[in-house]
Structures are given as structure tokens and as C-alpha cells.
Amino acid sequence: MMKIKSIIVDDESKSRNNLKLLLHEYCPAVEVVGEAESAARAMLLITEHQPDLLFLDIEMGELSGFDLLKLLNGKQTFELIFVTAFDKYGIQAVKACALDYLLKPINILELSNAVDKAIHQIGPKKENERLRELIANIDRKDEEQKIAVPLADKIEFIAISKIIRLEAEGNYTHFYLENQKHYMVCKTLKEYQELLEMHQFIRSHQSHLINFRKIAAYVKTDGGYIAMEDGSQIPISRQRREDVLARILR
């Protein structure tokens, strides 16, 4: 089942918890990846997680849900469902291009219908993006193939051949490319390992995935490490040493 990444924005913790429980029980396609009690916090979460769907309260103290949309300045890439206790905002919500509008207390059927609308809007977009790159990669030589990397304000398509190495930092992955380019992505290194191993990338350490073609030298001193073309020195973990050296020295 396709998962819809969502964020709940509401200044009342009770309301956030209630919506989260309803989504878990009745809308299994929706994965809540973050909760925000304010517009400022929501901005950070939107940048970090790049959600498919936002459940947004309207009245939230200093900045309203409408203020949040203004701060995004037209860079809204997610579908939007307003959730509020006040029906006076209905017309404004529609003008704000919301996919749907739910009144508190939330009616389960209305919530389910709103989520179904979101799935029908989001599904084709996600599939089309994935298929476009897949089809393009079929016709590319290995060194010309690209990987989709979600950044704060866009999805960047990076040539795999230009990646020197990847480094993990918790649930984030740092991409180090030719010409000193660097990106930080909100995905784990393991996800990229599965994509890149077929393109001659090696997991030399729990925190490092390196491009075999970008290795400059294997240095035996100081316990042994791999020197990359960008000057970085990558450790080799004890449990991976045998496999990595067999690959390098064969």
C-alpha cells in the first residue's frame, strides 16, 4: 500500500492526538511523520519531511493556518486539509485551495472521504515522478543514470557517477559530490545503499557508503582507511574489512 506522509498542525495536543488516533484506525494509508503546535514549528517540519498531506488548524495563537500558507509563499507542494472548530472559515479555506475542510469534532466518514480525495490527488503525482526517472534511466548508460534526492524546496536529480560518497547522521544522509557539492537529505543511509549497491557503491562502515570508482587509495597505516578523490578519509569497520578489502584488492 502506498503511504501518504502527513503532518498534523494544531496548537491543541488533545486535538492532534485525537486526529492521529482516527487516522491510525480508519486511514491506514496515512503515515503521520510529524506534529506541530505552531506555524513556526510546522515550517521546520515541512522543510524536513516534505509531506504529501497537511492537516492544518486555522486559529493557533500568534500565527494562523492562513499565515503559515503565506509564509510558504506559493511553495506548497502538499495537499491541504483544514481541520477547525469554526465553520466561519469555510469559504476562506476553499479560497486557500484546500483539498477539503473538516469541522471539529471530526466525523469519521468525512475524514475518510477527505483522505480518499488526497490519495487520488497524491498517488498519480508520486507514481508519475517515479516512472519518469525510471524510464529515463532505462535508456541511460550506467554512468549517466540519476537518483532522485528530496531537498527542502525541490527534488534534485543527481547523476550517480558524480557522487563521491554518502555519510549517515541519524535519520539523515549527507551526499558529497564532485566540485565540493553537498546535500543533506531526510532519509537513512540504508535506503540509499539498496539503490546504489548495483552501481558499484560499497558500505565500508556503518556510517559510510562510498563510490568504488571514486577511490583514490587504500592506506594501510593508522589501522587502514580509504582515501577518496575529494580528499576525505573513510574508515573501514572491523566487521566489513574483509569484504571491502576483497573488493578493492581483487
Q: In this predicted model, what pLDDT tens digit does every residue of 192-245 receive, in sequence order?
A: 887 788 788 999 999 999 999 999 998 888 778 999 999 999 999 888 888 888
CB 13 within 8 Å of CB 43 = no
Q: Tell me, what amino acid is at 74?
A: G
**Segment 129-158 mean pLDDT:** 64
- Sign, CA dihedral 96-99-103-105, equals negative
CATH 3.40.50.2300 location in the chain: 4-132
- pLDDT for position 135: 47
- Whole-angstrom distance, CA of residue 189 vs CA of residue 174: 9
- Whole-angstrom distance, CA of residue 82 vs CA of residue 94: 9
CATH 2.40.50.1020 location in the chain: 142-249
Of 34-43, 174-183, 187-196, the range with the lowest mean pLDDT is 187-196
At residue 88, does pLDDT exceed 80?
no
* Planar angle of CA 26, 31, 36, nearest 5 degrees: 105
Q: Is 148 left (phi over 0), alpha (psi -120 to 50) or beta?
A: beta
- Whole-angstrom distance, CA of residue 10 vs CA of residue 134: 38
C-alpha cell at 139: 535508456
Of 11-15, 18-22, 35-39, 152-156, the range with the lowest mean pLDDT is 152-156
DSSP classification of residue 199: G
- pLDDT for position 246: 84
- Long-range pairs, 241-248, Cβ under 8 A, ≥24: 244/202, 244/204, 245/218, 247/202, 247/212, 248/212, 248/215, 248/218
CB within 8 A of 158, min separation 6: which ones? 146, 147, 149, 175, 177, 183
Strands 215-219 and 225-228, how do they pair?
antiparallel
- pLDDT for position 6: 95
- Sign, CA dihedral 132-138-144-148, equals positive
Grid look-up 490527488 returns 121
At residue 30, does pLDDT exceed 80?
yes
- Whole-angstrom distance, CA of residue 45 vs CA of residue 55: 13
CATH topology of domain 142-249: OB fold (Dihydrolipoamide Acetyltransferase, E2P) (2.40.50)
Taking the domain 4-132, which CATH number applies?
A: 3.40.50.2300
- pLDDT for position 138: 46
